[in-house]
Amino acid sequence: MYPINPKEAIKKVLSEAERSGERRVLVIKGHEFNSIKDVVEELSREKSVLCVGLPETGNVRTISYEETDSVLGSTFDALFADLSDELRPNDLGILVETVRGGGIIVFLVPDDWLSRLTRFQRELISPPYTERDVRQAFKRRFLESLGSEGVWLLDGEKLMGVERSVEKKKTEKPQSDDPVESLSMSEDQLNVIRTILSSAASPKKQIIAITANRGRGKSAALGLAASLILGRRISRSIGVTASSPDGVQIFFSFLKKGLEAQGMKYNEVKRDGKTVAVISGRRMVFYRSPISMSELDIRIKIVDEAATVPVHLLFRIARKSRLSVFATTVHGYEGSGRGFTMKFLKAMESKNTRFLRLEMRIPIRYPEGDPVELWLYRLLLLDAEPASVKEDEIRYEKLDPEKLDEEKLREFYGIYVLAHYRNRPDDLAMMLDAPHHHMRAVLMGDNVVAAAQICEEGRLNKSMIDAIMERKDSPPGHMIPSRILVHYGNKEFCKLWGWRIVRIAVHPELQGRGIGSRMLSFIHEEAEDAGVDWIGAGFGASPELLKFWLKNGFLPVHMSPQRSDVSGEYSVFVIKPVSEKARRSIEELNAEFKRRILSTLHDVYFDADPEVIRLVLSAGTHEERPRLRFSQILRLRDYIREFNTYEMASDAIKELLISYFMSRAGSLPEDAERILIAKNLQGRPWPLIVRIARKKTMKETIDKVRECVRSLYELYSDVLPRLE
């Protein structure tokens, strides 16, 4: 290979891209932007060029990395980005996807790239670790991925890569006389638009699921279809949701294009700079959070990036609409579509409801088989899959991110992709580079069958503790100690060393066999040997997850006072003591936590799932005697004897329940605990208690509540007068 300078390299690689109609990547190592400035200006005269993190040049559009989201949905012929001081994997995924087929992506990196930190890497530093402790595994992964077909590296004067000779494929845009349909860029998009439109016009209940890889124009098709529903007066309102308003901005962009194509005027409603509603005359399309959308009873609902929304909310959204459209990326930085496919779609297909499933395969900006798409998928593990299961003995293994081979990393990360986690490229880089994050696996034979990501927390000094308490610039990380400080002021706990389990997941074919619990046991043993004081976790509180953590000896110590807008769940933090010093502290925290929950159930947590509350109150035993006055005992006994109503004894029942859940939880049947929590501690109305108690009539429900209270009273026969 003869010596070549940056300008010549760009022209050579771009020429190959133009001949093939595919995209090409060129990474230029060890050269400043000035060496290619002339080429950038020359290209900008004939092509659309985007520069990121570079000095402004002529008429070229130049943005900072903080503005990456602003180019979502845009298309360029060339991208130039300086990775010297910033390489944020989420941005990498977004920016590469803005370049059309026949275009080039040029990244600049310095010679000493592996000995310096990007801004993203600096954000990964959590005390007591320093800059020297940050790993460079993701950058190495990036550099090692270069030199394959379509992905070139210019190192000094040496251009390395594999020439790819393919003929330019002709792609014909679908034809339609309809002005909105003519905006579609592929037959897949046109099919989605027409299917949604015909289903919206049908009087029958319909569920449509759309799956696609990234770059297939899924959100654009949804927006165009919605514009036709309004334009043809099929429905006066459409609700759209995603995990946040950011997730529906492309949808709204194409909704507006569709309305404009029909000559329809509209007004936008914005919140924090994001479109949340478009109104045209008496018709409107509006955004709501997933939890709010699940509670709305409207005719048409659209869920974009459905994989990022908890499955139980998807079922509720489908239940309360005549037409519900669920679209998601199967492989992408928005989230994992695999859990959506395995759980939601399989359940929908098994029901009698009219169900349609569409798949979008054709890329919009570049041809199928584009080598840059394949490179990006491999680099960011967007298509990672767990290994095939072969029965064997299991063993626990610490994985070193800097020595981990590609196959094992893909198996490890593939388990997360199939789990309920929302996976983003930033998460991968954090796992590989953050000094306080660690990877642990359970292997069956040579294959990963369970994965855990651990984050070190605690060991805070006085200045860090004071910064958190005073809401100043608190140290990054330390999620559990921060909440303990803010809610309890327990400074001693925050000096202890803890491991927070950020993620834990088991191969889907092996779930329910105790492997997750075995992994927690392995982690506990390792923590003991290392001198760690506690292990903890934080998660959206569902009964299934709570049961898993509680059965493994973890105690709840905090529950968020607000529901998540996305999942509708309250976040719960649980901790398991490892050292004796931590045990005393955690038991005190659990006792205080239970008292706080019990005293705020009627207010802060009045709408929480009674089963979730039952579970968080079932862990931990703390001696507490009932404090009933004589008049309360009298009214309580008369209620049990059916001499008076529930309302006359409610205050006495509450006093007894507070003592029960502090000291004797689990002594009553689970259904009795749920009923008493819902009626007495949360103050739910009687019609709702009928459903919770699973009774047919109000009388049966009233009798059931009285029976539960009688059983509760008899538990305290040692301290209360006996019933005659």
From the annotation, which residues make up the binding site for ATP?
A: 189, 365
Token pair for 401: 């991110």
Q: Which residues are annotated as a binding site for acetyl-CoA?
A: 504-506, 544
* Cβ–Cβ < 8 Å for 594, 620: yes
Q: Compute φ and ψ for 196, nearest 5 degrees.
A: -60, -40
DSSP string, 598-622: HHHTTTTTTTS-HHHHHHHHHS---
Q: Which residues are annotated as a binding site?
A: 189, 365, 504-506, 544
Length of the chain: 724
Per DSSP, the three-state class of 216 is coil
* Cβ–Cβ < 8 Å for 77, 102: yes
Torsion of CA 484, 485, 489, 492, to 10 degrees: 80
Per DSSP, the three-state class of 694 is coil
CA–CA dist 325, 207 (Å, integer)? 6
CA–CA dist 83, 110 (Å, integer)? 8
* Cβ–Cβ < 8 Å for 586, 602: no
CA–CA dist 286, 376 (Å, integer)? 34
Residue 403 amino acid letter: K
Token pair for 15: 């020429």
DSSP string, 660-672: HHHHTTTSS-HHH
Would you give the DSSP letter of residue 248? G
Would you give the DSSP letter of residue 17? H
Does the bond joining 128 to the residue before it have cis omega, within 30 degrees of 0?
yes
In the block, residue with structure tokens 């559009």: 61
CA–CA dist 434, 427 (Å, integer)? 10
Of 177, 87, 163, 155, the C-alpha closest to 124 is 87
CA–CA dist 262, 166 (Å, integer)? 40
* Cβ–Cβ < 8 Å for 63, 38: no
Of 27, 57, 30, the C-alpha closest to 41 is 57
* Cβ–Cβ < 8 Å for 337, 307: yes
